[in-house]
Amino acid sequence: MSSTLDSLKLAKLCAKLAEDKKAVDPVILDLRKIEGPTYFFVIISAESEPQLKAIANYLEKEVREELERNPRIDGFPASKWIVVDYGDVMVHLFLQERRGFYGLESLWKDAPRLKR
């Protein structure tokens, strides 16, 4: 994993890039002090499957160009949940109704929310 400062920069960049593609309600959860599976979760909603795919593709392209980082990507727009995994930062992209169903923010409620 990268340094936590680099990881924070990546998490904030992912939230900003998602907003560039009109993502809904991006949230950054800081998991460093609660020993989560990664340093940060970035949780984002999209309004449609095409938008979900567009955000994932945009993140992959822009982060590769800016920070030279390549993610593992799992999920498909039809599943309504895509994970873009950078190891130290995991971006969860949901269709709006799926985000509430899985409730990651509730599951990780002890994690502080960071300002973008």
56-87 pLDDT, tens digit each? 999 999 999 988 999 999 987 788 999 999 99
Mean pLDDT estimate for the chain:
92
Domain annotation for the chain: domains and CATH numbers = 4-114 (3.30.460.10)
pLDDT value of position 2: 56
Query: Shortest CA distance to 41 belongs to which of 56, 29, 57?
Result: 29
Q: What is the pLDDT of residues 22-43, one digit of tens each?
A: 999 999 999 999 988 999 999 9
Q: What percent of the chain has pLDDT over 70?
A: 95
pTM, 2 dp: 0.92
* 7-36 CB burial, b ≥16 within 10 A, e <16: bbebbbbbbebbeebebeebbbbbbeeeeb
**How many C-beta atoms surround the C-beta of residue 1 within 10 A?**
11
